[in-house]
Structure 1
């Protein structure tokens, strides 16, 4: 069944108004007609089954049939901090990461970030990233749209590390405890799962030793994702999938 996210103000006690691109998709692409049912969610705390009552020129009016329990969300909140990669790789991280279950994306700039940051262009790119997250959340039948933040500086990112219950920095030079070992130690009984896990992924050239030390000082644990060097966009998705598996989201 098709799913659409609508602003909370468009979801009343007994009726929902679907507008904009979603209304166009529903009427022109899906060829919906009065009587058809779809799911609408406000992206935060409400999900409803609705039946289309009327199709207007720029909106679809639908009556709420029933309230639905929130679905498709992990009990563990995972933040993916991704050093800005080249090209459209950030779009891949956001799209696939949303499908797997990430709750928040934190792009950031680090010493070896290759991308030239332009604040004027970033505003448009941020809008695109958020649209990608919305569409991916709809496709994955999630109840919430992940947050996508504007790019942070390295210091701003480290300041957020203390807000997570567990912060892991993926570092190719780490020879001690692996990503798996940290996860299993964190989620094993009787400790129970952490509420929020921050995963920090470096740029194409990796982190510098100074950055690894600064991250540790800020409370991050440096971890290895294995003996092979992964592309930056691959590392983010592998780490996220490992968390979902270890917390039972994928049968772990």
Structure 2
């Protein structure tokens, strides 16, 4: 069984043979919720690819002393996949974030699409924090050392501008597209998933002008919550995406 994962922002001093002290919410969860005990294996990651393989030396209510057995540097997921996920009602966007993190997504862009029913008006920071918390929990559950980034919420023009600036390869999930997912070997791949009401014509045209390619994921119509994870799973099969 793989070791559970906890997060510490700074692992620069976590050298082999050293003692790493984990405190705060992570230590509380490990010691109180999971009831970690001396001798148990635990991995600590910094969210940026560094993993410290540890053994619990001492467990207290709000503190964990860990013996560092090994520190490794793991490669970032390749290709780097950004999921542009339209805001969706009933927490379906959070479902997409959770499952796509498990499949290796590197970044999420909350998209205020023209037809999005859900809105973050005046609550952008709170909405982004919920996405970040969901991505963090899913990354820990799937034992990832790389935690996906969540950008600020963007409208369509902002999404297009960022994609152009980064030179991204844009795949726009659309039920009227005629082509499936390509097996293109690219480094910076973006998957665009619209809201339940679909992507507006003017948005689709804007993505096309930015080099976007409409793709059909399935002969069945997928919900906004499942389209992104479906694409991630398909790409994982083609490219062995992992992180």
Q: Structure 1 CA distance, aligned partners of 2:4 and 2:169? A: 35
| Secondary structure class of the residue paired with 2:89 | coil
The Cα of 1:103 is off from its aligned counterpart by 0.7
Write out aligned runs for 1:189-204 (5 A).
193-204=185-196
Q: Which residue matches 1:190?
A: none
**What is the aligned partner in structure 2 of residue 29 from structure 1?**
33
User: Aligned residue for 2:180?
Assistant: 179
How far apart in 2 are the matches of 1:137 and 1:116? Answer: 26
Q: How much has 1:17 moved relative to structure 2?
A: 2.4
Deviation at 1:249, TM superposition (A): 4.2
Displacement of 1:202: 0.6
1:60 partnered with 2:61: no
1:206 matched to 2:198:
yes
What is the TM-score with the length of structure 1 in the denominator? 0.86
1:201 deviates by 0.6
CA distance in 1, matches of 2:128, 2:168: 27
Counterpart-to-counterpart distance in 1, 2:130 and 2:13: 24
Report the CA distance between 1:57 and its aligned residue: 4.4
Are 1:81 and 2:84 matched, yes or no? yes
Q: Deviations over 1:110-149 (max 9, x none)?
A: 1111113223x33223222212211111111111101112
Deviation at 1:9, TM superposition (A): 6.0
TM-score (normalised: structure 2): 0.89
Partners of 1:109 and 1:146 in 2: CA distance: 19
C-alpha distance in 2 between matches for 1:128 and 1:203: 18
Partners of 2:46 and 2:55 lie apart in 1 by 16
- Equivalent pair of 2:120/2:127 in contact (CA under 8 Å): no
**1:94-109 correspondence runs (5 A):** 94-109=97-112
Q: Aligned in 2, Cα 1:170/1:35: closer, same or farther, shift over 3 Å? A: same
Unaligned runs of 5+ in 1: 187-192
Partner residue in 2 for 1:129:
131
The answer to whether the Cα contact below 8 Å between 1:10 and 1:16 also exists between their aligned partners in 2 is no
3-state SS in 1 of match to 2:146: coil
- 8 Å CA contact 2:77, 2:104 repeated in 1: yes
Once the two structures are superposed, residues 174-201 of structure 1 have per-residue CA deviations (whole angstroms, 9 ceiling, x without a partner) of 23xx133xx22x2xxxxxx211110001
> Are 2:132 and 1:140 aligned?
no
Q: Which runs of 5+ in 2 are unaligned?
A: none
Is the aligned partner of 1:70 residue 2:74? yes
Aligned residues: 237
**CA separation of 1:140 and 1:9: change in aligned 2, threshold 3 A:** closer
